[in-house]
Structure 1
Amino acid sequence: MPVLMDNGAGRAAPRPAPGGTAASPRRGWWTSRRRDQLAGLLFVTPQLVGTALFVLLPLGLVVWYSLHEWNVLADTFDFVGTDNYRELVDDPKLPGVLRSTLFFSVGLVVFNLALALLLAVLLNQRLRGTVVFRTLFFSPVVVSLVAWTIVWGFLLQDNGGVNGVAGAVGLDGPNWLRGEWTALLSVIVVQVVKNVGLNMVLFLAALQGVPAELYEAARVEGASRWTQFRRITVPLISPTILLTSIITVVGALQVFAQIAVLTQGGPGTSTTVLVYYLYQQAFQFHQFGYGSTLSVLLFLIVLTLTVVQWRMRRKWVFHEQ
């Protein structure tokens, strides 16, 4: 039994144990830190399970299928190693598909971001009716994608609504969905108008977080509106620009329904982007092994572009400098 000694401050201190060390209270295993760790683990477990089942597992299966030749009609599943990847390198249609994917993605990203930022700057003004226009520009985002595309398909026909309006003012519009460049431009416009409202809302939220005092100080110094936009607005909303650019680039590389409904990849291969070419190989020609190889290529392209954008953020994102 420990003997209490006076420690000189009026408090009793335990006498050292026979081994020469003071007796310390025993701490249980179930500490508050362990409870916090378990609570945090329970909160993230559903997300981890979902990621493992619906992201990592399908990705691993796609890589596994790309090493096989799978014909569901003949009920064969043969290991071919890297034959599908060699076929990918020798595919004569792939350069044209990648070129169409590049033109489509660049056009979609540039038009979407530029128009969204322009609309956000205009609708950030304290003017009457801005709420109505915000709702008007955002409403296509919540419309069904297939219904939106079908309506635009009727509007862009040779005798559709677009050419009808053009004819009313004396213009002879082309058959928008039958020309190589007009078809690609039409799909870009349809997609931009559909989703520009989402980026507009993100830019609006970022613009409303810019301190008004900075603009007042710039006006006192005689800075023009363009200088204020370039020196104040763009740097302070650059994190949002990074976010929207990553979202838009990834979305541009995954556009499928609009092309399937409007052009079916034509005319020729002018609108056959990589996602639609993947669909053709896997589900129309039943080459699931080669389709999986194209999926791996698409994943690598998306991963590379995302990593490049993320690594470049330190050079132009304001808060990362």
Structure 2
Amino acid sequence: MSTQASRLPGGGTHRRPAPGGGTSKRLARIDAAIGMAFVAPVLIGAIVLGLVPFGYVVWYALHDWQPLTGQFTWVGSENFTRLLTDGDVWGSLLTTFKFAALLMVLNVTLAMGLAILLNQKLPGTATFRTFFFSPVIVSTVAWVLIWNFLVAKNGGINGVLAMLGITGPNWLRDASLALPTVVVIQVFKGVGMNMILFLAALQNVPAELKEAARIDGARATRVFRSITLPLMTPTILLVTMLTMVGAMDVFAPIQILTEGGPGRSTTVISYLLYRTAFVQQDFGYASAIGVLLFFVMLGLAVLQWSTRKRWVHDEV
């Protein structure tokens, strides 16, 4: 406890508690306890639903686990060594990177363009915004099933093309078109959320900064490049990280639309994990693939986060 000294008539000193010293410390402890109470549910959830299951996955990856035969044998690092020479794993990982790169470029670019268009306050923007955001709240399975009918050989898209005298391809059975087709379906599913985030960022750019630039003679493109875009970079970082994580973990569209085909053209690593575990019943090796996927996603997230200071506004 902090104290204050007072001089006595005989020259000595008498120490007494400083006013408010104990109270401030008690309030600080109460504030800390309240803060921990708010953080505790998220922390407990992360431990129970994240760290503990991941620990089990690592444990299973160190075993040869065959549920149908009841085999659960310790193999150490054998499953991880097998990963290094498995062409299917590295091929599916390359396909996943292609999928993620295409999805991120198309999604972020389209979302930015739509947000800029909606920020112009043109007639009908509310309807336009609802149209693009509504797929976000639709079930992924329902959305993909609808598109499965549209992109079928005799589906709606090829029917429209036939009316124009064009013979449409078999979108999901052509190895060169299957992956881009799934990417486009996913882009329209999630672009609405990114559009809203970008629109909020655009509307938070101070109008006086843009007005000052226009008074100085800057064109609209220069104002966007030099003022608007730098102030939007924190939102761009958020959008790119969320889009990347979702792209690396895609499963339902692949399972419903292509089942990894034709050939292995759409076999992303999450689908390979599913097939290894639930089709081949090799849960130990599937767990090792899951650990690999986790560290790949973690590495990409760390890479994005560590480079943010070079291009994100106000990062120091």
Q: Which TM-score tier does this pair reach, normalised by the shorter chain?
A: over 0.9
**What SS class does the counterpart of residue 69 from structure 1 fall into?**
strand
1:318 matched residue in structure 2:
313
Any conservation in 2 of the 1:70–1:77 contact (CA below 8 Å)?
A: yes
TM-score, reference length from structure 2: 0.92
How many residue pairs are counted as aligned between the two chains? 308
1:24 and 2:9 equivalent? Answer: no
2:45 matched residue in structure 1:
50
**What SS class does the counterpart of residue 77 from structure 1 fall into?**
strand
The Cα shift of 1:320 comes to 1.1
Letter in 2 for 1:152: W
Letter in 1 for 2:106: F
Letter in 2 for 1:211: P
Q: Larger Cα Rg: Structure 1 or Structure 2? A: 1
2:75 matched residue in structure 1:
80
1:254 matched residue in structure 2:
249
Q: 1:150 to 1:16 in 2, by over 3 A?
A: farther
C-alpha distance in 1 between matches for 2:102 and 2:126: 29
**What SS class does the counterpart of residue 180 from structure 1 fall into?**
coil
2:111 matched residue in structure 1:
116
The Cα shift of 1:233 comes to 1.6
TM-score, reference length from structure 1: 0.91
1:66 corresponds to which of 61, 66, 86: 61
Correspondences of 1:84-103 after superposition (within 5 Å)? 84-103=79-98
C-alpha distance in 1 between matches for 2:121 and 2:87: 55
Any conservation in 2 of the 1:16–1:22 contact (CA below 8 Å)?
A: no
C-alpha distance in 1 between matches for 2:223 and 2:41: 45
Q: 1:297 to 1:129 in 2, by over 3 A?
A: same
C-alpha distance in 2 between matches for 1:79 and 1:134: 55
C-alpha distance in 1 between matches for 2:212 and 2:63: 65
| Gaps in structure 2 of 5+ consecutive residues | none
Q: Deviations over 1:140-193 (max 9, x none)?
A: 000111010001001111000010011111111100000112110110000000
**What SS class does the counterpart of residue 210 from structure 1 fall into?**
coil
Correspondences of 1:1-321 after superposition (within 5 Å)? 15=8, 22-25=14-17, 31-320=26-315
Any conservation in 2 of the 1:250–1:302 contact (CA below 8 Å)?
A: yes
| Gaps in structure 1 of 5+ consecutive residues | 1-6, 8-12
Identity, % of aligned positions: 51
Any conservation in 2 of the 1:16–1:23 contact (CA below 8 Å)?
A: no
**What SS class does the counterpart of residue 22 from structure 1 fall into?**
strand
The Cα shift of 1:25 comes to 4.5
1:3 matched residue in structure 2:
none
